Amino acid sequence: SQVFEEISPADFFYRNRDIAGFTNPSRAIFASIRELVENSLDAAELAGVPPDIYVRLTFGEGGSQSGIYKLRVEDNGSGITSRHIPSAFGQVLFGSKYKLKQARGTFGLGGTMAVLYGQITTHKPASIVSSTGSTKIYKYRIMIDIQRNKPIILERKIRINKERWHGTIVNFSLEGDYFRAMPKILEYLKQTALVNPYANITFVDPKGRLYKFMRVTTKMPPPPKETLPHPYGVDVETVKRLIQITRHRNILDFMRTHFHRTSEKIAHKFLEFTGIPKSKNPKNLGPQEIVKLVQMMKRFEEFRPPSASCLSPLGEDLLRVGILKELKPEFTAVCQRKPSTYSGHPFIVETAIAYGGEIPKKGDFIVYRFANRIPLLYDEASDVSFRVIKNMNWRRYKISPDMPIAVLVHICSTKIPYKTVGKEFIADRPEVKREILNGIREAARKLKRFLSKREHVEREKRR
């Protein structure tokens, strides 16, 4: 007969670490660097400062043949309050990004996965140094109790923070294969610099080579603001949880307080639509009444569409600046679409087409994909953006794949429809697909105009 077991989420992602992107030593080095760099970028933006990020990868004690490396990532971000540092890196499904607000982080998993992978391949602890800019800097040495999904604190030190530094330094050892991973790591850093042109990223590789991606501006997009759930985006579980925590004893105030852009007037109209009396205590709604309430929310057509204040698109200027800095094209067409939603989640698509200059002719378009300012480098063929580009009728715009062209797609959302825990590619959501298609068409129109104008000028010259 069957023998049952329960396992912790750390154990689940330990056993299935390839599902989180830690497939083999080469991929794991890439995954560790990207998870930590994305955490650092989030942290600097949270602190409202242009990010300064230092990544150093060195050979471990066994030297260059042992396959063991040491990874150190330092940032000038918001830092982490002392009591949360061990769990931030020693517990899976623990984090500060479970909010309705655009961020690179979303699962509460990445940083801990990197530390976990290091631990299972080298059995060495990780060291985390952090300060929020207070009078103290905290240093922890931790390991992870994988079966309990809890950090093990081996050491905790405090020192005085004279310069009121704020930031985080993560240091750990891991098995890897840098030489195999190198092209992807460098491509990742370059594309990160492109889509975050206000960031300084410095990388020292195991051979001591220095790569510097310098900022060309200190201008940053306005930060996103946390938002309330939208009536079109909730289900029974979410509404149940809101009812559990609400202090309101009538459903009118409940609707008005807990839902996005739901004024008293709209809440009134909605409750008339449902036939539920305004004074009804939400805690007295029965299970099927809650189901009906949620169904009614989907059918009521007068809720205002979600605002995009929880999003933070790059904007056409910054996108152009980043493309110029890293791709050096002759001409760039950018387009920022209006906010849209899928399944109640707001999103914005930004596209660009870069032509000529240092863009190489590859016989096909070079596709760059970004989500919440994260470059996506794997599984191109499965990604919705790639499919849109493949199936689009480019001849309408007199653009062909043998031209030196790069097509860039950036999606920002409170919930990127990632297909995988490893954030490799984006699922095919009809609303998102439509926005990508229209965004690329708009950019293609601009390029077509530039090319025909240029052709016209050349013809004039030849007369």
Q: Where are the beta strands (DSSP E) in 176-290?
A: 200-204, 210-213
Q: Verify binding: residue 340, a copy of itself, rule CB under 8 A.
A: no
Q: Verify binding: residue 110, Mg ion, rule CB under 5 A.
A: yes
Show contacts with ligand ATP in window 155-194 (CB under 6 A): 168
Q: Verify binding: residue 96, a copy of itself, rule CB under 8 A.
A: yes
Shortest CB 64 distance to ligand ATP, Å: 28
Q: What three-state secondary structure class fits 169?
A: strand
The token pair at 346 is 């707001």
Shortest CB 459 distance to ligand ATP, Å: 53
Radius of gyration of the chain (CA): 25
Part in contact with Mg ion (CB under 5 A); list of ranges 103-111, 153-161, 199-207, 339-347: 103-111
Shortest CB 379 distance to a copy of itself, Å: 6
The CA-based angle 80-423-241, given to 5 degrees, is 65
Shortest CB 409 distance to a copy of itself, Å: 19
Give which of a copy of itself, Mg ion, ligand ATP, none residue 19 binds (C-beta under 5 to 8 Å, depending on kind). a copy of itself
Shortest CB 285 distance to a copy of itself, Å: 11
The CA-based angle 397-402-403, given to 5 degrees, is 60
Q: Verify binding: residue 136, a copy of itself, rule CB under 8 A.
A: no
What is the greatest pairwise CA distance in the chain? 90
Q: Verify binding: residue 131, ligand ATP, rule CB under 6 A.
A: no
Count of other CB atoms within 10 angstroms of residue 194: 24
- String of DSSP letters for 18-62: TTTT--SHHHHHHHHHHHHHHHHHHHHHHHTS--EEEEEEEE-TT
Which of residues 112, 171, 262, 336 is near ligand ATP by CB under 6 A?
A: 112
Q: Verify binding: residue 39, Mg ion, rule CB under 5 A.
A: yes
C-beta separation of 37 from 213 below 8 A:
no
Q: Verify binding: residue 2, ligand ATP, rule CB under 6 A.
A: yes
Q: Locate tokens 């959302």: which residue?
A: 413
Shortest CB 46 distance to a copy of itself, Å: 7
Comparing CB distances to ligand ATP, the nearer of 147 and 295 is: 147
Q: Verify binding: residue 111, ligand ATP, rule CB under 6 A.
A: yes
- b/e for 24-58, b at 16 or more Cβ within 10 A? ebbbbbbbbbbbbbbbbbbbbbebebbbbbbbbbb
Binding-site size for a copy of itself (CB under 8 A) equals 62
**99 contact partners, CB below 8 Å, separation of at least 6:** 226
Closest alpha carbon to 95 in 106, 82, 79: 106
C-beta separation of 106 from 99 below 8 A:
no
Sites of contact with a copy of itself (CB under 8 A):
1-9, 11-12, 14-16, 18-19, 23-24, 46, 78, 80-81, 84, 87-88, 91, 93-96, 98-99, 107-108, 119-124, 132, 146-147, 235-237, 240-241, 287-288, 290-291, 343, 379, 381-382, 417-421, 427
Sites of contact with ligand ATP (CB under 6 A):
2, 35, 39-40, 43, 75, 77-80, 88, 95-97, 105-112, 168
Sites of contact with Mg ion (CB under 5 A):
39, 105, 110
